[in-house]
Chain A
């Protein structure tokens, strides 16, 4: 290809290596450049397309950066109050037991204000998927301490670093819900390299495939970055996440279904 001139010969179906899934809308995402939410959205949408279940899915968006998730997903969605997505998803799934229902929440939403809803939806073994995006900070409100903020990590409300003597310890809620008999599949994934994105995609596929089996909650944590909240460039934030977050929030399956 010479210069900026596109070789029209290349635009053929057989040369296609990548395309946007039709389960995502054409709306421009509001996420900061470098943020992991967009990738997580895309992975979920791609699996819904691959499983051909677009007309069977009802999603629940949280309060937080992904509050507008419903603008980007081309299927039915409800926006929940802060922390209440698992309760909203419970209401939907109990009344539409044949649909695929998922909630999508950040760390403040799922592990602070919504802890009761999280624990009890998991404990009841609701047949839903819970996506948990953990970037260790309140992104939307401007970078305050989250329940998952690492010890020593700076945020706008822990400007000198999180001191556990005063602010408590970072909460590993994923390990906590894995201990409940109502969870069926619990895993921690990431989106900062292509290899991890592919792993996440396999996990998301499994979770959607498990749902019609009515075995309980599939819980997928995605450790992600918040370059804006962390006051870093996107690349710096990915490096920092790899070196710090993943040491504490170790990736991999935490609870696998008994085959």
Chain B
């Protein structure tokens, strides 16, 4: 255990840095997975339920070492499966608590039924996917082939997750509290779609101050029916088609509201760009270097990084077509987000895709070569 993070053995117990406001000002060096775990404690999370899977097992390991039940009272429980952990989330979220889980691609697949129930019951929670290459058992190396699963459904029925894609260890930490804010604001599950590279790499990170756990709970939650209110029921079932259609319409109105308010993205040297890489997460980090390499060769390249994968920044991407001649979607997949890029720019400019699969991370050079071959020269 020692050497895995920045905790140390003192006497017979492992000690983590103290949760003081002073510490909140200081940078620390840690893995993305550990940052998620520490940020979860700091965000006042009530419960974490998870099941081990590479490459994200550090999240639960960090939490069990940190023993947050002694500092904030946070519950950390290793479930018997991802199926059980997502349903523990459903129970905890339905009871008004701030709950989260983390897993990696095959485990997230197992959770899809539960995620659909959570969305259908309009429950807030955080699901972290530290994605690896697929399909099937695939590989334990990083992958971005869960884009469709995360942003287009995944489980059954008409629902949406709010999906945030961090590109640094700092964002791994920052997106935890942001996710909970969005989840409770919209009564909707939020997913952090990361990948094995960001989960495993170490970077400097600064945490926010400790937030106390909630003491007041939403009025819809199953907190015990007091005499002053009607009973609360958490369910996604309604056998009356007319009523159920109205419920679905209500969900859709909520999603339109999210699309209006919660689009997040970042532009890097796009203002004068002739060509733009579109990439999120690890690919976006690599594309920053590709922008630099391309500009050294006299190619005016830029990077557009969607942060919210749903809602997707369609309009913002489309706005770039006023001066951008072509876009290359760079993903560690066979090309999933590229479909949204094409939807965004309406065939007005040339759109290509470059990707590696099976856990291979593309190099900055081969991305520039792909830009030249597919977009500039093509």
A: which residues have CB within 8 A of B? 54-58, 60-61, 67-68, 70, 73-81, 84, 87-92, 94-96, 99, 116-117, 119-120
Contact = CB atoms under 8 A, between A and B. Distances in A.
Given A67-B237, A94-B75, A94-B77, A77 B92 contact: no
A88 B125 CA distance: 14
Contact of B91 (A57, A60, A74, A116): A60
A54 B230 CA distance: 12
B88 A76 contact: no
B90 interface: yes
Nearest to B237: A79
Nearest to A93: B91
Given A55-B226, A76-B225, A120-B79, 18 more contacts: A55-B225, A57-B225, A58-B95, A58-B223, A73-B231, A77-B222, A78-B91, A78-B234, A80-B91, A87-B84, A88-B88, A88-B90, A88-B91, A91-B90, A91-B92, A92-B92, A92-B94, A96-B95
Given A56-B224, A78-B222, A91 B114 contact: no
Contacts of B84: 84, 87, 90, 116-117, 120
B252 interface: no
The residue among A57, A91, A94, A99 with the most chain B CB atoms within 10 A of its own CB is A91
Given A76-B223, A77-B231, A94 B90 contact: no
Nearest to A113: B83
B262 to A, nearest CB: 27
What interface size band does chain B fall in? Answer: 35 or more
18 contacts: A55-B226, A75-B225, A77-B222, A77-B233, A77-B234, A81-B87, A81-B113, A81-B114, A84-B83, A84-B114, A90-B77, A91-B90, A94-B77, A94-B92, A95-B91, A95-B92, A117-B87, A119-B80
Nearest to A77: B233
Given A78-B94, A81-B117, A120-B84, A91 B225 contact: no
Contacts of B47: 91, 94-95
Which one of B49, B85, B95, B232 has the greatest number of beta carbons of chain A within 10 Å?
A: B95
A89 B95 CA distance: 10
B233 A91 contact: no
B81 interface: yes
Interface in B197-225: 222-225
A80 B222 contact: no
Interface string B248-264: 00000000000000000
B237 A91 contact: no
A180 to B, nearest CB: 13
A79 B81 CA distance: 20
B49 A91 contact: yes
Nearest to A60: B91
A91 B99 contact: yes
B236 A79 contact: yes
B146 interface: no
Nearest to A89: B91
Contacts of B222: 58, 76-78, 92
A61 B93 CA distance: 16
B378 interface: no
A76 B224 contact: yes
Nearest to A116: B80
A88 B93 CA distance: 10
Nearest to A120: B80
Contacts of A78: 90-91, 94-95, 222, 233-235
B89 interface: yes
Contacts of B234: 77-79
A92 B80 CA distance: 16
Nearest to A75: B225
A60 B87 CA distance: 12
Closest 3 CB pairs of A and B: A91-B91, A91-B88, A76-B222
Given A87-B91, A95-B75, A117-B84, A74 B227 contact: no
A55 to B, nearest CB: 5
Contacts of A89: 91
A92 B91 contact: yes
Contacts of B38: none
Nearest to B98: A95
A87 B88 CA distance: 5
B46 interface: yes
B31 interface: no
B70 to A, nearest CB: 15
B42 interface: no
A88 B47 CA distance: 13
A97 to B, nearest CB: 9
